[in-house]
Chain A
Amino acid sequence: MTRNHGCCGRCLQRSREEEVDVLGNGCYLPHRFRSSHGRLNFSKKTQGFRKLGKTGTFPESLSMQWRRGCSQYKQVTSNENLPVPMENPYKEPLKKCILCGKRVDYKNVQLLSQFISPYTGCIHGRHITGLCGKKQKEVSKAIKRAQIMGFMPVTYKDPAYLKDPKVCNIKYRE
């Protein structure tokens, strides 16, 4: 059974709340069981029932009631309590990498040695160091520069810096 009475479905809801519950046990009777003057009509021929006494034909008068119900129902929802569009106030600040905002110099070999392998001397990738794009590029450029200029060894890590705290996300086999 479609509930499409030619207007919004809300008037049905309203009429459900306001109308007196005749049976007394919370059961809602659809409109087709009610005649235009609100009396119950349980006859099987309700849908095609035309002769209703004082009022006019069955579908027209009822649809007038529904339309009235619809126009009053529109003003219930006011704009005061609707959610206001705004940016998320609980947003967490963006995560920063360990070198964010710090200067990377080719001269501090100790810092640069933390990002190379102690066995081969190869520079660790972004997925290991966890640095952001800019800093990773700066670090690798500084490492190459230091190696070429004679500040940092190429194929191994300086033994003096082997005991430094681990910064990269890598685990070596013992």
Chain B
Amino acid sequence: MPRYELALILKAMQRPETAAALKRTIEALMDRGAIVRNLENLGERALPYKISAHSQQHWRGGYFLVDFYAPPTAVESILDHLSRDIDVIRPNVVKHPLTQEVKQCKGMFPVPLEEKLYAPKKRK
């Protein structure tokens, strides 16, 4: 199963309420056949811009990162479920960045700029 990453922004709440919201989220993930690997807390901080969600404006939020394995068909239902949750400001599921390998770059080839100076006119 491919590896995904859920970047979750929760409403700025008290600790027990945040814990309950996270528990709800992970249970929803596991119900759809996902295997949760890790849960990271990036801290509660001010949002970069005002976000309005579920008829409320938010300026602060708690950032969480969930990496999990899931079947590709389940991703859509996960996003659907999270968008209906009132405590979640913004859910985003992306492919896990660690699965993408860093390609070895040979370097930058020097481009002959003299050719570009008098380039032939493009014709349609």
Q: Is the CB of A149 within 8 A of B7?
A: yes
Q: Is the CB of B90 within 8 A of A149?
A: yes
Q: Is the CB of A150 within 8 A of B48?
A: yes
Q: Which residues of A contact B42 (CB under 8 A)?
A: 107
Q: Which residues of B contact A52 (CB under 8 A)?
A: none
Is the CB of B29 closer than 8 A to any CB of chain A? no
- CB-CB nearest in chain B for A135: B105
In the complex, A87→B78 CA distance in Å?
57
User: For chain A residues 107-162, which have a beta carbon within 8 Å of chain B?
Assistant: 107, 132, 134-135, 145, 147-155, 158
Q: How far is the CB of B15 from chain A (nearest CB, A)?
A: 21
**Interface residues contributed by chain B, number (CB under 8 Å):** 23
Contact of A94 among B90, B103, B107 (CB under 8 A): B107
Q: Which residues of A contact B9 (CB under 8 A)?
A: 150
Q: Which residues of A contact B92 (CB under 8 A)?
A: 148-149
Q: Is the CB of B109 within 8 A of A103?
A: no
Given A94-B106, A96-B105, the answer on whether A154 and B90 have CB atoms closer than 8 Å is: no
Q: How far is the CB of A167 from chain B (nearest CB, A)?
A: 16
Q: Is the CB of B48 within 8 A of A151?
A: yes
Is the CB of B34 closer than 8 A to any CB of chain A? no
Q: Mark B30-51, 1 if CB is under 8 A from A, else 0.
A: 0000000000001000011101
Q: How far is the CB of B11 from chain A (nearest CB, A)?
A: 13
Is the CB of B55 closer than 8 A to any CB of chain A? no
Is the CB of B56 closer than 8 A to any CB of chain A? no
User: For chain B residues 52-110, which have a beta carbon within 8 Å of chain A?
Assistant: 61, 63, 65, 89-90, 92, 94, 97, 102-109
Is the CB of A165 closer than 8 A to any CB of chain B? no
Q: Which residues of B contact A149 (CB under 8 A)?
A: 7, 90, 92
In the complex, A97→B105 CA distance in Å?
9
Q: Which residues of A contact B103 (CB under 8 A)?
A: 134
Given A102-B102, A134-B103, A145-B94, the answer on whether A152 and B108 have CB atoms closer than 8 Å is: no
Chain A residues at the B interface, C-beta cutoff of 8 Å: 93-97, 100-103, 105-107, 132, 134-135, 145, 147-155, 158
17 extra interface residue pairs, beta carbon distance < 8 Å, beyond A93-B107, A149-B90? A94-B106, A94-B107, A96-B105, A97-B105, A100-B107, A101-B102, A102-B102, A105-B97, A107-B42, A107-B65, A132-B107, A150-B9, A150-B47, A150-B49, A150-B89, A153-B49, A158-B48
Chain B residues at the A interface, C-beta cutoff of 8 Å: 7, 9, 42, 47-49, 51, 61, 63, 65, 89-90, 92, 94, 97, 102-109
Give me 30 A-to-B residue pairs in the complex whose CB atoms sit less than 8 angstroms apart, sorted by A's number: A93-B107, A94-B106, A94-B108, A94-B109, A95-B107, A96-B107, A96-B108, A100-B105, A100-B107, A101-B104, A101-B105, A102-B102, A103-B102, A107-B65, A132-B107, A134-B103, A134-B105, A135-B105, A147-B48, A148-B92, A149-B90, A149-B92, A150-B9, A150-B48, A150-B49, A150-B61, A150-B90, A151-B63, A153-B49, A154-B48
